[in-house]
Structure 1
Amino acid sequence: MRGLVPGLASPYPIGESLPGVFRGDSFTQRWCSAMDEVVAPVITTLDSFSAYLDPATAPEDLLPWLAGWMGIALDGHQSAERQRELVQIGVELLQWRGTARGVRAAVRALFDLDPELIESGGTASSTQTGTPLPGSDRPELLVRLRVPDPEGFDVRRLDALVEMAKPAHLPHRVEVTG
């Protein structure tokens, strides 16, 4: 990701920290200068490491890496600004991952549409014995999304997003309608 930066000066030149006997040796100074060229980007990166971890200031090529920390896969369909927004939203949504609220928010963030979630489970209470149990005995999550153009919509992106945002143990299906 990072590499040499031509002309970047080291804030801590190695040659200046050597004992006096080596400061006058031209070979040692040239060798130290070459090492300074390698170490300078490392020092600069470490000095500004907090900026690398902030989606607003991270270099573009690090955004997929930051997203990967949260289990988000950026698919390259978005501009750099949109990727920054998605990583920031991902930080906020991480606490809701695996919940209905998290699935809704993730779909809304990526597609700017509100999904309909249909879950097989349920809860209920009754004062009478023999009341049927709510929900279904087969766990499943159905995510239905109404879009303007169902034929041109990439269902695989929606499926991958739901796979990431839903509870890991829960099978799911996605439906896209007009």
Structure 2
Amino acid sequence: MRRAVEGLDTPYPIGTLLPAVFQEDPVAMAWTAALDDVLAPAISALDCLAAYADPLLAPEDFVGWLAGWVGTVLDENWPLERQRATVAHSVRLYRTRGTVEGLRALIELVTAGEVEIAESGGVAWSTAPNTEPPGEATPRLFVRVTLPRGVSVDAAALEALIVAEKPAHVPHRLEVVDT
């Protein structure tokens, strides 16, 4: 007889829960054993539900689904560990989204590189009216990513990531430096 998942047994066999008269019946035991084989994967998934919700422990094919839960888009070309780390840090990254530090943290996470950002904006407050606004009049953003030895990054994907994260009206320039 073939199992639904080879080698996966149920920790709660149904046949042992039957009255003794049915436990002595080979047909009843065979029927409940077949049910055990079908239900074993579902029972295993329910027993491990906490691990499915943790991107560092979840099965490989479940990480992309978790990314959808937190609104993160993953590049399937990234190594699995980078995908897991991106999903694990998504909530923290959303707290700083739209800031220079948030952009820096995201790019460092997906590239494993050193990120330098120069931008024209600024934030200030004043109690005096007509105070000169901070920053430069012309918006700009420059991102330099220095990659560690042996790490490669798809520049087009990184470009798309920056476009998605920066303010739409701010032009940007990306420079990727290999060491």
TM-score clears 0.5:
yes
Alignment of 1:52-131 (within 5 A): 52-111=52-111, 112-118=113-119, 122-123=123-124, 125=126, 127=128
Q: Which residue of 2 aligns with 1:49?
A: 49
1:91 deviation in Å? 4.4
Q: Which residue of 2 aligns with 1:176?
A: 174
CA distance in 2, matches of 1:160, 1:61: 24
1:26 deviation in Å? 2.7
Gap runs ≥5 in structure 1: none
Task: Call closer, same or farther: CA 1:70–1:160 in 2, change over 3 Å.
Answer: farther
8 A contact 1:86–1:109 mirrored in 2: yes
CA distance in 1, matches of 2:4, 2:94: 35
| 1:110-130 Cα distance to aligned partner (Å, 9 max, x none) | 122314253557545474x65
8 A contact 1:52–1:62 mirrored in 2: yes
1:78 deviation in Å? 2.0
8 A contact 1:115–1:143 mirrored in 2: no
1:17 deviation in Å? 1.5
Partner SS, residue 162 of structure 2 = helix
Q: Letter of the 1:158 partner, please give it.
A: L
Gap runs ≥5 in structure 2: none
Q: Which residue of 2 aligns with 1:146?
A: 144
8 A contact 2:82–2:110 mirrored in 1: no
CA distance in 1, matches of 2:57, 2:133: 52
TM-score in terms of structure 2 length:
0.70
> How many percent identity over aligned positions?
38
8 A contact 1:72–1:164 mirrored in 2: no
CA distance in 2, matches of 1:6, 1:65: 25
8 A contact 1:10–1:37 mirrored in 2: yes
1:47 deviation in Å? 1.4
Task: Call closer, same or farther: CA 1:47–1:143 in 2, change over 3 Å.
Answer: farther
Aligned Cα RMSD in Å?
3.5
Partner SS, residue 74 of structure 2 = coil
8 A contact 1:71–1:164 mirrored in 2: no
CA distance in 2, matches of 1:22, 1:62: 40
